Amino acid sequence: MDIETIKNAGYIVKPNHFQVNTDWPTVLDLIYKNSDNAKTNGKDLWIKIKDRLPFGHIPDLKGFCEQLNKEFDSTYTQTCDFNQNWEKRCNCPGIWHIDGPVVSLTSTHISKHKDIAIAAYIQILGNSFWKLDDKNTLVLKPSDVVFISNTISHEVWGEGPRFGVLLFAIEEKKKVR
Ligand SMILES: [Zn+2]
């Protein structure tokens, strides 16, 4: 697969693509240990954890990063500045980078928006519902992955607590090397 395929399709769903083993106690501990390093959307219990290397808590995610980059003829590079420091930019040859684990404990819909980059999201616990470009609604279950172009708007909600990880594809022109 390549990035152009995602741009052309708008979005691509890969059901049951990669299994990440974890549980809610582990996710709660991840939030607790990153309590100085989390951001919310300022309204409700939607939490992005600012840890791009959360492998101490969830080791399977490293295998996911490696597989995903391999599927795009790329190599996951853990030492990239983007991964190590929230403020820094990508300086590695890799494509897919974790932006952060996302925990949603809110019944509020995340209002319609577009992401700043081509994104991938892996559902890990709970289900999430994505309305894409005001049209189709997807249901993501654990192990499902969706790729979304930054040209596609999406509104996202759940039916209970949910956890997943957002990744960004960093395009060559946005890298500093
Ligand atoms: Zn990088």
pLDDT of residue 142: 98
Cβ 82 vs Cβ 60: under 8 Å: no
Q: Which two tokens stand for residue 134?
A: 């005001």
Q: How far is the CA of 144 from the centre of ligand 1 (A)?
A: 24
Which of 96, 25, 14, 91 lies closest to 63 in space, CA to CA? Answer: 96
Q: How far is the CA of 87 from the centre of ligand 1 (A)?
A: 13
**pTM here?**
0.95
Q: How many domains does the chain have?
A: 1
Q: What does the pLDDT average to over 51-61? A: 97
Q: How far is the CA of 70 from the centre of ligand 1 (A)?
A: 14
Q: What does the pLDDT average to over 130-134? A: 93
Which of 35, 28, 52 lies closest to 105 in space, CA to CA? Answer: 28
Compute CA distances 63 → 18, 66, 68, 92, 104, whole Å: 9, 5, 8, 18, 24
Rounded to whole angstroms, the Cα distance separating 19 from 6 reads: 22
102 φ, ψ (degrees, to nearest 5): -125, 125
Q: How far is the CA of 81 from the centre of ligand 1 (A)?
A: 7
Position of tokens 């519902």? 129
- Does 38 score more than 90 pLDDT? no
Supply the range of the domain harboring residue 156.
Answer: 3-174
- Does 42 score more than 90 pLDDT? no
CATH number of 89's domain:
2.60.120.620
Q: How far is the CA of 56 from the centre of ligand 1 (A)?
A: 20
Q: How far is the CA of 93 from the centre of ligand 1 (A)?
A: 6
- Does 85 score more than 90 pLDDT? yes
Cβ 162 vs Cβ 128: under 8 Å: yes
Q: Could you read off the pLDDT of 140-159 as tens digits, one per residue?
A: 999 999 999 999 999 999 99
Q: How far is the CA of 161 from the centre of ligand 1 (A)?
A: 30
Residue 9's CB is within 10 A of a number of other CB atoms, namely: 13
pLDDT of residue 43: 81
Q: What is the DSSP letter of 77?
A: -
Q: What is the DSSP letter of 170?
A: P
